[in-house]
Structure 1
Amino acid sequence: MPIGAHVSVAGGVEHAVDRQCAIGGTCGQIFTHAPQIWAHTPISDEQVAAFRQGTQERLAGPWMIHASYLVNLGTPKPDLRRRSIHSLQQELDTAAVLGIPYVNVHAGAHTGSGADTGLQNAASALDALEVPDGVTLLIETDAGSGTKLGARFEELAFLLDASAHALGICLDTAHVLVAGYDLTTPAAVDATVDVFDDVVGLDALKTIHLNDSKHACGTHRDEHAHIGEGYIGTAGMQRIVTHPALRDLPFILETPNTDARGHADNIERVRSLRREAGISS
């Protein structure tokens, strides 16, 4: 199955392949630079070649780049808008160089200008980008705290419809839960998937951030838990990873990762949930 985790690129992007293989992943996600700063880390031709070769030989893929935390497409502030577009363009260009098919970004926050204005700002910022061939820009579902956009499926649908680009969606299970969409039982998962299909369309769904949540449905509090040990729970998680519309998508973990318990444990947990349901892991 296509499953992996967000891994570090410390020491060079090519080392992400080793780290992904070490936890049993077959796909994954990276930051191309420290996500709390604007400056992008240069990647040498040798690093690009090593990353591409390692990925081709050792991983089924795909990889996804997560944009900087500083990017805010919905901002009304001209300077922040300019820097956000520039940063995201660099991520898209880097993805093309590395052969990575997806770049993932949040819609951002309207910071008091209103959701409608924020969505319009985000759509126009997206259209200021040049998306290289072979790369798809994904908008991630948000937890919806404060003035953040993208927690409601209708907001995601607006961005997909408003932008001239062929955008996709990365669905974060923890974010969807705390945004108010129930995922705690098999029936609830089925109902939420149906709502997503009605509002956004399953054809737009390209990847899943597979995270359990330390907080309950509708709380808008973004804190991830180990698979099956949060408010989504075992039954909800098992249905997510076995649902016919979801089970073949790339699952990327952003669960807690410590020396005591890390991504390898959660990847094996997901595989065991699929085996218990009679689906290949």
Structure 2
Amino acid sequence: MFYIGCHLSSAKGFLAMGKDAEKIGATTFQFFTRNPRGGSAKPLDHEDIAAFLKLKEELGLGTLVAHAPYTLNGCSADEKIRDFAKRTMVDDLERMEAVPGNLYNFHPGSHVKQGVEVGITYIAEMLNEILKPELHTTVLLETMAGKGSEVGRSFEELREILDRVELSDKMGVCMDTCHVWDAGYDIVNDLDGVLAEFDRVVGLERLKAVHLNDSMNVRGARKDRHARIGEGEIGAEALVRVINHPALRDLPFCLETPNELPGYAAEIRFLKDHRIG
């Protein structure tokens, strides 16, 4: 099955997100675990979650992707900010146990003039404190565009973090098409080569999800500005190749394009129409 969805509003609750997914033809979806620009999280509604899990099974929805808030920075120079990131992620992963077997994606963070090596050290240390053997969620590092002092703009940086995580079986990677393009990887003219490089450096078995976005920027701009499918520099033809690539086609794809539900529905229809097999 082709698992294609988009970012839905978790403010409505799980059941409402499931119904929105059904309405727009999605077969998976992504959601924020809490306010993306803040630190608050709503109490879990276990009746709502039970109703959603029943609907998920009825609809045949695939693996879901939870997204950590943007405010997390586990490699900040400020110890209080690092502590906030750790406490928030601990809470998020405890809450994710209510919907076990899914994915939790986060931006590695920005080292803010400390240097990439220091940033990588802080991120790995945080993960080693957080991850537990009994965890039923896979934690994903997201590929980043490289703006400012972001960590994770290269496959090598992601690999270095993964190598330092003790419970590495709990970890994976989410590839964002806009981000890797903006970071300089040519997924338009050499998708096979980019994936071969990812496999050599990180390992394709680590790739667990894809954020499917076009980009407003030329390759290597390191700016991270998403565009609707076919309205950016990557283009619809290249993104259709992404969803059909043998190494990627069975992963959950989540749209983070600048859209409301009708726009997501149109993009999902387009991508389904261009799915091979």
Once superposed, what is the RMSD of the aligned Cα atoms?
1.4
Q: Note the alpha carbon deviations across 1:200-258, whole angstroms, 9 max, x for none.
A: 11010000001111111100111111112211113311211111101111111111213
Q: What is the aligned partner in structure 2 of residue 79 from structure 1?
A: 80
SS of residue paired to 1:98: coil
* Alignment of 1:184 onto 2:188: yes
Q: Which has the higher contact order (CA 8 A, sep 6+)?
A: 2
Q: What is the aligned partner in structure 2 of residue 116 from structure 1?
A: 117
Q: What is the aligned partner in structure 1 of residue 257 from structure 2?
A: 255
What is the identity, as a one-letter code, of the residue corresponding to 1:175? H
What is the identity, as a one-letter code, of the residue corresponding to 2:259? N
Q: Tell whether the 8 Å contact from 2:101 to 2:138 is kept in structure 1 after alignment.
A: no
SS of residue paired to 1:4: strand
What is the identity, as a one-letter code, of the residue corresponding to 1:57? E
Give the whole-Å Cα distance in 1 for the aligned partners of 2:166 and 2:15: 33
Q: Tell whether the 8 Å contact from 1:27 to 1:250 is kept in structure 2 after alignment.
A: yes
Q: What is the aligned partner in structure 2 of residue 18 from structure 1?
A: 19
Give the whole-Å Cα distance in 1 for the aligned partners of 2:27 and 2:183: 29
Q: Tell whether the 8 Å contact from 1:76 to 1:121 is kept in structure 2 after alignment.
A: no
State how 1:1-281 maps to structure 2 within 5 Å: 1-131=2-132, 132-165=134-167, 166=169, 167-185=171-189, 188-258=190-260, 262-274=263-275, 279-280=276-277
Q: Tell whether the 8 Å contact from 1:63 to 1:102 is kept in structure 2 after alignment.
A: yes
Note the C-alpha offset of 1:74: 1.4
Q: Note the alpha carbon deviations across 1:146-193, whole angstroms, 9 max, x for none.
A: 0010011100111111111221000000000000101123xx111111
Q: Note the alpha carbon deviations across 1:57-88, whole angstroms, 9 max, x for none.
A: 22321111100111111113211111101111
SS of residue paired to 2:127: helix
Q: After the TM superposition, which parts of structure 1 deviate over 4 Å for at least 4 consecutive aligned residues? A: none
What is the identity, as a one-letter code, of the residue corresponding to 2:39? W
Higher mean alpha-carbon deviation, 89-98 vs 125-134, is at 125-134
Q: Which ranges in structure 1 are unaligned for 5 or more consecutive residues?
A: none
Give the whole-Å Cα distance in 2 for the aligned partners of 1:95 and 1:83: 18
Give the TM-score of the pair, scaled to structure 2.
0.94
Note the C-alpha offset of 1:99: 2.7
Higher mean alpha-carbon deviation, 233-242 vs 138-147, is at 233-242
Give the whole-Å Cα distance in 2 for the aligned partners of 1:112 and 1:102: 30
SS of residue paired to 1:148: coil
Give the whole-Å Cα distance in 1 for the aligned partners of 2:141 and 2:125: 14
Give the whole-Å Cα distance in 1 for the aligned partners of 2:229 and 2:98: 33
What is the identity, as a one-letter code, of the residue corresponding to 2:195? V
Note the C-alpha offset of 1:90: 1.4
Give the whole-Å Cα distance in 2 for the aligned partners of 1:54 and 1:31: 20
Give the whole-Å Cα distance in 2 for the aligned partners of 1:49 and 1:209: 27
Q: Tell whether the 8 Å contact from 1:138 to 1:168 is kept in structure 2 after alignment.
A: yes
How many residues align structurally?
A: 273
Give the whole-Å Cα distance in 2 for the aligned partners of 1:241 and 1:45: 34
Higher mean alpha-carbon deviation, 123-132 vs 104-113, is at 123-132
What is the identity, as a one-letter code, of the residue corresponding to 2:205? D
Q: Tell whether the 8 Å contact from 1:141 to 1:169 is kept in structure 2 after alignment.
A: yes
* Percent of residue pairs bearing the same amino acid type: 37
Note the C-alpha offset of 1:100: 4.8
Q: Tell whether the 8 Å contact from 1:142 to 1:172 is kept in structure 2 after alignment.
A: yes
